[in-house]
């Protein structure tokens, strides 16, 4: 399950707010005994607002995947015994 998180900062004196940062986090359901990923029911949109949210989430997932691919190209290889894995 993917979650889009937005953190907003607010100027209390002027009641203005701005987007400070955002991210996508992923939660994986695990089966009890083995700790392996488990299937969960898919969320189904119920109205136009839900469908808009679903489309936004799908775009964020794609952006996240592309960003991971981009970052992977700059990541140095891990070496055994170097304390990085």
Q: pLDDT, tens digit, for every residue of 3-59?
A: 888 899 999 899 899 999 988 888 899 988 888 999 988 889 999 999 998 898 889
DSSP 8-state class, residue 70: H
Give the per-residue pLDDT at 5.
Answer: 86
Q: pLDDT, tens digit, for every residue of 70-82?
A: 998 888 877 766 5
Q: What is the DSSP string of 6-31?
A: EEEEEETTTTEEEEEEEEEEE---B-
User: Would the pLDDT of 65 be above 70?
Assistant: yes
49 belongs to a structural domain:
yes
Give the per-residue pLDDT at 74.
Answer: 85
80 belongs to a structural domain:
no
33 belongs to a structural domain:
yes
Query: Which residue intervals of 1-85 are DSSP H helices?
Result: 48-72
40 belongs to a structural domain:
yes
Task: Decide which of 59 and 84 is more confident.
Answer: 59
Asked if residues 56 and 4 have their Cβ atoms less than 8 Å apart, the reply is yes
Helices (H) and strands (E) in the chain, counts: 1, 2
84 belongs to a structural domain:
no
Q: Which of 68, 40, 46, 45 is nearest to 57 (CA)?
A: 45
58 belongs to a structural domain:
yes
61 belongs to a structural domain:
yes
Report the domain count for the chain: 1
Domain extent, residue 63, equals 2-72
Q: Which two tokens stand for residue 76?
A: 């140095």
User: Would the pLDDT of 84 be above 60?
Assistant: no
Give the span between the Cα atoms of 44 and 41, in whole angstroms: 9
52 belongs to a structural domain:
yes
């Amino acid at each position: 399950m993917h979650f889009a998180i937005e953190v907003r900062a607010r100027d209390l004196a002027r009641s203005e707010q701005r987007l400070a940062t955002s991210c996508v986090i992923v939660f994986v359901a695990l089966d009890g005994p083995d700790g392996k990923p488990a299937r969960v029911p898919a969320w189904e949109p119920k109205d136009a607002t839900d469908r808009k949210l679903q489309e936004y989430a799908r775009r964020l997932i794609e952006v996240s995947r592309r960003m991971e691919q981009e970052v992977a190209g700059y990541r140095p290889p891990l070496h055994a015994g170097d304390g990085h894995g």
